[in-house]
Chains A and B, each alone.
Chain A
Amino acid sequence: MQTIGVVGMEGAMGSFELFAIDFLQALMAGLMVGGTYALMCVGLGMIFGVMRVVNFAQGDFLMLGMYGAFYVATTLGVLALLGPYAGPVVAGLLAGPIVFVIAWLLHRFLIGRVTGVAALGAEGEGHYAQIILTLGIALVLQNGGLILFGSLPLSIPTPMSRESWEIWEILVNQARTVRFAVAILVAALLYLFLSRTRLGKSMRAAADNPQAALYMGIDVDRCHRTAFALGCAITGIAGGLIASSQSFQPYIGFDFVITMYAGVVLGGLGSILGAFWGGMTIGLVQQMSTLVLPFQLQNTAIFVVFLLIVFLRPHGMFGRSVERT
């Protein structure tokens, strides 16, 4: 995800102007990358917010979204049908329902057994079993992906990822811009779902206090299942959207799961809005750090900023701490 460097501008311009352009270029790239990170984080943030489960397999649902989008685009012929511009976006969105179904089934048969109502009252609220279960699922998905899809790195072919618009002196990658817009749109739709629909509202109630929600007649397990499947699908869509400009293989999940958790914790565990801004921050920090740090330390910069923010605000940017004695 290297940004396109600014070349061939020597001579007339001073070093300050050069830096200003570099800066704006990195800012723009950060925003664009941040948009997709934000969407991934929203998916993870929703799962954590509703279920309080640390899902280590989240990165692998992202991977499934990438492969889903790839096969929808190529094998199902969406790319040929809709052309190289609309095709990848539609394929990315269609990855959502595919991941939704897989995640729904996994929750129904595996994860639901150690989470939600089943875990109320277990030692440490059942966290130990949940962590190892999601690790196990991550292993199965990664290696199952290797068997099904092979280890060859793939990406959805689109000319967009190589084309840029030029605004003043700044180059704006077309694929990233379209992706950014779609990511924001999906996040906004999720927000509407949670705040307007009956199911969305009961999910928020179940997140707030599962026991009380249960007594109010809310089917907490159903809320969890929907939240899990929807959260995975949202992350899957984010994966589907970046599948056109990032090459991927079945083991890509772990790289992203860390970034996602950094974003979600940064925003404040349990807050979906926080997850959005946390993801955005991660994107910005990652791209902006290239201005002052060597490329290899991009991710170290993310973790340093992450630790700093968490230490300054132990509940993240949007997190709340409510503890009664």
Chain B
Amino acid sequence: MRQSRSLARDLAAIGAIAAAFMVVLLLTESGYYRLILTLVVIWATLGLAWNMLSGYGGLISFGHAAFFGLGAYTVTLAMVKLDITPWIGIPLGALVGMAAGLLIGVPTFRLRGHYFGLAMLAYPLAMLYVFEWLGYQEIALPMKREHPAAWMQFSDQRVYTLLGLGLMVLAMLASLAIERTRFGMALQAIKQNEAAAEAAGIDTWRWKMPAIVLSAGFAAAAGGLYAVVLLTVTPQSVFGVLVSAQALIVCLFGGVGILWGPVIGAAVLVPLAEILNGELGHIIPGIQGVVYGLAIIIIILLAPEGLFWRLRDRFFPVRPQVPDAPAAAPQAAGRDAGRLAATRKPLLVLKGVSRSFGGLRAVDNVSLTVEEGTVHGIIGPNGAGKTTLFNIVNGFLAPNSGSISFDGKDIVGQKPSRICRAGMGRTFQIVRAFPRMTVLQNVTSGALVATRHDSEAEALALWAIDLVGLGRAEAGQTASGLTMRQLRLLELARALASRPKLLLLDEILAGLGHAELEEVIEAIRRIAASGITVLIIEHTMHAMVRLAERFSVLDHGALIADGPPAEVTRNPQVIEAYLGRKWVQRAADRVA
């Protein structure tokens, strides 16, 4: 969908939304309806802010009221205590919010999934009680008789609406910038599979931090404007659960992960709630909440991902475009092919690597060397510690002891994304594609590491797709609908797109039929021939014998054999631990 939307069209749409808003504003006579319009843009801005972190990045926050409230209180206290005009107060509030985003992000990003969201719930509520305790139960912004405009006080309600509209347009432009750059792609990758994103070289921390800071800044600015418009601030009204809920509701209702979503959500829900309140609230107290709640329930049952996505899928189904032209091979993709045969320098060297889980020694004092330009196989029975070894090598796990050097540099303790950038790609035993992205987008996310510009990344991705043997028609498909063969090739291409020196393949042939197996083996051979060193874990012994030039055998975490295939498969220890006598018998039969 990224490729199919032109920038000019998106900008025109933002302009059209702003223009439509102004027309509605001009047609609105009553002050009450003008206030509703102001609230629409404020809540839309908060929804857009929430979307930046939780929509694009998938880090669902239940606590955006923390930023909203800080913005509101910064503006209010600056005006009441320090005589600072909201013209300065709102940017100041945004800065305070951004600082809070940074301070909250640093510890909270250690948490995953629901733990993150629910921990976020705690911040605004802790602040709420602190502000109550400080005695700021209810503060009114003082009316300024002289130069009211200098204090952001206008007799015409519409000026506030325009200010809010300006803020909303700013938030939309920021969202557009996120969506159209690698920032958005990185966040989307994080949302769909954080571990895979990290292994694909996306430094998740580096993208999550700016996302929360930006998000917090806009939420705080919205809070600041809210204080100016309503003229009174209470801890409940700005830090309360309902504020955080409102951010979620407008965004999820309108459509998550897209800049139009929160705007649609706010434009429908805020007037609905207010009008219900005005029309029904005094007849039967509570009926407005019931109707509002029911409206949300019904819409979400009909459109679980929000109105925008439902309407788009219904009326404008999008076919992603994939260029047809063959991609040029990137320069020096392969190492100097002539050099390979002559000298074989060690690329990856493990010395005495161990890792325990409780009392279990999953990897026990393993030392091995992977030489440049080879295909090196690791075999061993289930639970031998093969995948754990991979996780240690690519940085998911830290070894308890031992050293690992890659390309001459010590890599122990580095993050997976950093190791990926140093030239190590990997695939996963359990496929970790980004299910909502197309094949091309999946692979492009892997290419971000190796390129500076997004167009280069796509070219590199196309090259990788060609190399593994996926077709251009397949490249446009969404990953969630792929077959096992396509998923394996996708992961291979994604790892390849980071232009690695060394590729770690974790049981890449598992779950494939015979013909598919051949295809993937061919792809691995092509990759090896292009000069990339391959370290592969595999159970399928027959495939392994055909691929690898050197075997390392793990059993109960320890290395029990290491050498050329012919030597290793005759090793009695290996036969005992892994191959079994039958295999040897069969191999012997075949020779005979």
Contact = CB atoms under 8 A, between A and B. Distances in A.
B130 A297 contact: yes
Nearest to B429: A325
Contact of A54 (B117, B130, B286, B390): B117
Contact of A123 (B287, B296, B436): B436
Nearest to A305: B122
A324 B301 contact: no
A131 B252 contact: yes
Contact of B480 (A48, A121, A325): A121
A143 B289 contact: yes
B111 interface: yes
Interface stretch (B213-221, B241-249, B341-349, B370-378): B241-249
Given A114-B300, A132-B296, A258-B121, A269 B115 contact: yes
Interface stretch (A179-187, A228-236, A308-316): A308-316
A303 B126 contact: yes
A131 B305 CA distance: 11
- The residue among B285, B304, B480 with the most chain A CB atoms within 10 A of its own CB is B304
Given A114-B304, A132-B249, A139 B122 contact: no
A311 B294 contact: no
A19 B33 CA distance: 58
Interface in A220-277: 250, 254, 257-258, 261-262, 265, 269
A136 interface: yes
Contact of B133 (A147, A296, A304): A296
B448 interface: no
B506 interface: yes
A38 interface: no
B112 A124 contact: no
B507 to A, nearest CB: 11
Majority secondary structure, B binding face: helix
Contacts of A145: 286
Contacts of A52: 114
Nearest to A253: B241
B13 interface: no
B122 A303 contact: yes
A137 B293 contact: yes
Contacts of A144: 286, 290
A147 B286 contact: yes
B304 A122 contact: yes
B120 to A, nearest CB: 10
A165 B513 CA distance: 74
B359 interface: no
A135 B118 contact: no
A325 B195 contact: yes
Contact of A314 (B112, B133, B287, B297): B112
Interface in A103-154: 110, 113-114, 121-124, 126-129, 131-133, 135-140, 142-147, 151
A121 B478 CA distance: 13
Contacts of A139: 289-290, 292-293, 296
Contact of A131 (B195, B248, B284): B248
B119 A135 contact: no
A316 B114 CA distance: 12
A299 interface: yes
Contacts of A310: 111, 115, 119
B133 A294 contact: yes
Contact of B107 (A54, A297, A311, A324): A311
A178 interface: no
A17 interface: no
Contact of A304 (B110, B126, B296): B126
Nearest to B122: A303
B481 to A, nearest CB: 11
Interface string A289-321: 000001011111001101100110011100000
Contacts of B52: none
Contacts of B249: 132, 135
Contacts of B390: 325
Interface string B57-94: 01010000000000000000000000000000000000
B132 interface: yes
A323 interface: yes
B583 interface: no
Interface in B8-58: 58
B304 A147 contact: no
- The residue among B130, B256, B289, B391 with the most chain A CB atoms within 10 A of its own CB is B289
Nearest to B195: A325
Contacts of A113: 301
A114 B292 CA distance: 19
B129 A297 contact: yes
Nearest to A323: B195
B428 interface: yes
A234 B245 CA distance: 25
B110 A311 contact: yes
Nearest to B246: A135
Given A132-B248, A325-B430, A146 B256 contact: no
A132 B125 contact: no
A299 B129 contact: yes
Nearest to B428: A325
A140 B293 contact: yes
B477 interface: no
Interface in B349-376: none
Contacts of B430: 324-325
B503 to A, nearest CB: 16
Given A123-B436, A296-B129, A146 B285 contact: yes
- The residue among B126, B249, B435 with the most chain A CB atoms within 10 A of its own CB is B126
A261 B121 contact: yes
Contacts of A151: 285
Interface in B391-406: 391, 396
Contacts of B242: 254
Given A323-B195, A325-B195, A136 B110 contact: no
Contacts of A316: 115
- The residue among A265, A298, A303, A314 with the most chain B CB atoms within 10 A of its own CB is A303
Given A139-B293, A140-B290, A147 B285 contact: yes
B287 A143 contact: yes
Given A48-B114, A135-B245, 14 more contacts: A52-B114, A54-B114, A129-B305, A132-B300, A136-B296, A138-B293, A140-B294, A143-B288, A258-B125, A300-B130, A310-B115, A310-B119, A311-B111, A314-B111
5 contacts: A131-B60, A139-B289, A299-B129, A303-B122, A307-B107
Which 6 A-B residue pairs are closest in the complex by CB-CB distance? A143-B289, A139-B293, A146-B286, A140-B293, A136-B296, A129-B304
